């Protein structure tokens, strides 16, 4: 089995067990030889319906107004005893990108989505597409590939730029230490001084500001249109997209995925179930360090007359992220966790310190959504060969929109057995797991 944490590979050891260079538990082939293992229903997550257009994952939802989506709810009704070369579990942006790339490659591809397409984490984002991932040049490389793909596919991209505020010398040192690698990954990024940072974002009055990273390649997009674009591409290439059809078990030796509407048989099973992947990955006998799904929340300000056009701006130490949305601001700072009141107090205190001129009286919940994640906030890609091959792409940790096209390309490359060096993943080359991404 190969298990990629962007650049980290779990290589197959000579004795047949699987060695893991970054502290993950080794997996024996015996453990991986899974029989029909029931996948537990995912833990319910409470989050509000962003834009009010989607139902909760796992339920059949409101018909979409987009004609393609309306088609998705009806034309691909459940079938019985279906066969496909590849079955993809999960119809978010990652699963749809994978289905599109495999189908465009001529693979007979069937995707299972338990709710509506794009009804999971892909329903609620900040719509930010960027290429610079500090501390994670491999993630940046995927994002650079993805941006090129978005441009080719003509998805909306309004340039905003990305500013990362550094308040500590160590942050600047870390930036400089990996600058060459970021540039090699194709990222346009430079260090600018505090005055230049304040010029780029006049709302910044952070007293401890020392310098900033500036990357012009950050854009505000439209997540729904990206999901719809992948859906169209997948359908055009002949992929069968089954909605309202959950995978409830997998039997790898038999090559079957169980659903309430009958089994689907495939030579390759791909897990792209976002925050709900751990059940499926466990059922395939793979141990991947996926975090439990958490609810993430973005805040919005009320209207701020005269607010300037500002870049997407991250305060690296606190992870406070802001961008302009309409005539106000969209604000994120990680997940609220169990004590939302405390999180809110911390966020408003940091806002008052870094952006003292911003009126916070109209602060409200703007977006909530299920957050997929891995402990070091980098995506996990993996392949377990066998009579039925098992692939997975999950744990995008708040970066799925930035990396979805490349995720599809990478899974297609894994499927084909291509050389992965273009992705910053050496076939044998083991690289240290990237340092935690301050963004």
Ligand X SMILES: Cc1cc2nc3c(=O)[nH]c(=O)nc-3n(C[C@H](O)[C@H](O)[C@H](O)COP(=O)(O)OP(=O)(O)OC[C@H]3O[C@@H](n4cnc5c(N)ncnc54)[C@H](O)[C@@H]3O)c2cc1C
Detail the DSSP E strand segments found in 138-258: 158-159, 162-166, 190-193, 211-215, 218-220, 240-242, 249-251, 256-258
Nearer to ligand X, 115 or 135 (CB): 115
What's the closest the beta carbon of residue 276 comes to ligand X, in angstroms? Answer: 4
Smaller CB distance to ligand X: residue 115 or 134?
A: 115
Sequence-distant (≥ 6) Cβ neighbours of residue 284 within 8 angstroms: 32, 34, 250, 252, 269, 271, 384, 390, 392
Compute CA 150 distance to the chain's CA centroid, rounded to the nearest angstrom. Answer: 15
For ligand X, give the closer residue by CB, 85 or 261. Answer: 261
Using the minimum distance from each CB to ligand X, give the nearer residue, 1 or 299. Answer: 299
Q: Least CB distance from residue 170 to ligand X, whole Å?
A: 26
CA 119 to chain centre: 14
Burial 32-45 (b: 16+ CB within 10 A, else e): bebeebebeebeeb
Shorter beta-carbon distance to ligand X: residue 82 or 209:
82
Residue 41 CB, shortest distance to ligand X, in Å, is 8
* Residue 171, C-beta contacts closer than 8 angstroms, at least 6 positions apart: 210, 316, 317, 438
Q: Rounded to the nearest whole angstrom, what is the least distance from the CB of residue 204 to ligand X in the complex?
A: 20
Least separation in angstroms between residue 39's CB and ligand X is 6
Cβ proximity of 116 and 64 under 8 Å: yes
For 326-342, the DSSP string reads TTEEEEE-S--TT-HHH
Instruction: Identify which of 266, 222, 223, 226 has the alpha carbon closest to the alpha carbon of residue 242.
Output: 266
The whole-angstrom distance between residue 18's C-alpha and the CA centroid of its chain comes to 26
Site of interaction with ligand X (CB under 6 A): 39, 57, 89-95, 112-115, 119-122, 124-128, 246-247, 272-276, 296, 298, 367, 369, 371-372, 394, 396, 398-402
Q: For ligand X, give the closer residue by CB, 334 or 385.
A: 334
Least separation in angstroms between CB 176 and ligand X = 26
Cβ distance 46 to 293 under 8 Å?
Answer: no
Q: Which is nearer to ligand X, 285 or 369 (CB)?
A: 369
User: Minimum distance between the CB of residue 57 and ligand X, rounded to whole angstroms?
Assistant: 4
Q: For ligand X, give the closer residue by CB, 398 or 424.
A: 398
Least spacing, CB of residue 127 vs ligand X, in Å: 6
User: Which residues are paired to 270 by β-bridges?
Assistant: 88, 391
- Give the residue with the Cβ less far from ligand X, 388 or 394: 394
Q: Are 410 and 149 in contact (CB under 8 A)?
A: no
User: 78: exposed, middle or buried (C-beta count within 10 Å: 0-12, 13-18, 19+)?
Assistant: middle
Q: What single DSSP character describes residue 122?
A: G
Toward ligand X, which CB reaches closer, 55 or 348? 55
Supply the DSSP string of 173-188, one letter for each residue.
HHHHHHHHHHHHTT--
Judged by CB, which is closer to ligand X: 113, or 263?
Answer: 113
Q: How far is the CB of 421 from ligand X (least distance, A)?
A: 24
3-state secondary structure of 320: strand
Question: What's the closest the beta carbon of residue 356 comes to ligand X, in angstroms?
Answer: 25
Record the tokens describing residue 27, joined without a space: 């997996």
State the nearest-atom distance from the C-beta of 208 to ligand X, in Å: 26
Q: Which is nearer to ligand X, 275 or 289 (CB)?
A: 275
Tokens of 74: 């009806």
Of 77, 74, 78, 95, nearest to 86 (Cα)?
95
Decide if 40 contacts 23 (C-beta within 8 A).
Answer: no
Q: How far is the CB of 305 from ligand X (least distance, A)?
A: 25
């Amino acid at each position: 089995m190969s298990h990629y944490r962007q650049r980290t590979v779990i290589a197959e050891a000579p004795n047949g067990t699987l060695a893991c260079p970054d502290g993950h538990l080794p997996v024996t082939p015996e453990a991986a030889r899974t029989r029909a293992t029931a996948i537990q229903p995912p833990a319910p997550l409470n989050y509000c319906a962003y834009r009010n257009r989607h139902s909760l994952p796992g339920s059949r939802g409101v018909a979409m107004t987009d004609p393609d989506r309306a088609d998705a709810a009806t034309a691909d009704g459940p079938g019985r005893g279906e066969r496909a070369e590849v079955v993809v579990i999960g119809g978010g942006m990652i699963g749809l990108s994978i289905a599109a790339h495999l189908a465009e490659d001529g693979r007979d591809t069937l995707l299972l989505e338990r709710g509506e397409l794009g009804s999971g984490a892909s329903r609620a984002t900040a719509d930010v597409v960027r290429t610079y991932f500090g501390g994670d040049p491999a993630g940046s490389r995927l994002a650079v590939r993805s941006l090129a793909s978005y441009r080719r596919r003509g998805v909306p991209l309004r340039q905003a730029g990305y500013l990362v505020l550094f308040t500590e010398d160590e942050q600047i040192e870390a930036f400089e230490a990996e600058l060459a690698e970021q540039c090699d990954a194709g990222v346009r990024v430079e260090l600018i001084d505090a005055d230049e940072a304040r010029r780029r974002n006049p709302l910044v009055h952070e007293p401890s500001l020392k310098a900033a990273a500036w990357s012009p390649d950050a854009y505000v997009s439209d997540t729904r249109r990206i999901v719809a674009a992948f859906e169209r591409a997948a359908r055009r290439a002949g992929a069968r997209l089954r909605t309202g059809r959950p995978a409830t078990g997998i039997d790898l030796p038999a090559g079957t995925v169980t659903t309430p509407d009958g089994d689907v048989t495939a030579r390759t099973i791909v897990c792209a179930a976002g925050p709900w992947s751990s059940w499926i990955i466990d059922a395939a006998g793979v141990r991947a360090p996926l975090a439990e799904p958490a609810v993430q929340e973005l805040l919005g300000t009320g209207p701020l007359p005269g607010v300037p056009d500002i870049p997407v701006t991250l305060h690296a130490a606190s992870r406070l992220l802001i961008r302009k949305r309409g005539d106000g601001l969209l604000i994120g700072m990680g997940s609220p966790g169990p004590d939302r009141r405390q999180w809110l107090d911390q966020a408003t205190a940091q806002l008052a310190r870094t952006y003292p001129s911003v009126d916070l009286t109209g602060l409200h919940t703007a977006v909530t959504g299920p957050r997929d994640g891995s402990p070091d906030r980098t995506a996990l890609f993996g392949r377990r060969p066998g009579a039925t091959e098992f692939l997975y792409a999950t744990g995008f940790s708040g970066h799925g929109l930035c990396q979805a096209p490349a995720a599809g390309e990478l899974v297609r490359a894994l499927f084909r057995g291509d050389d992965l060096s273009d992705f910053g993943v050496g076939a044998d080359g083991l690289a240290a797991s990237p340092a935690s991404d301050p963004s």
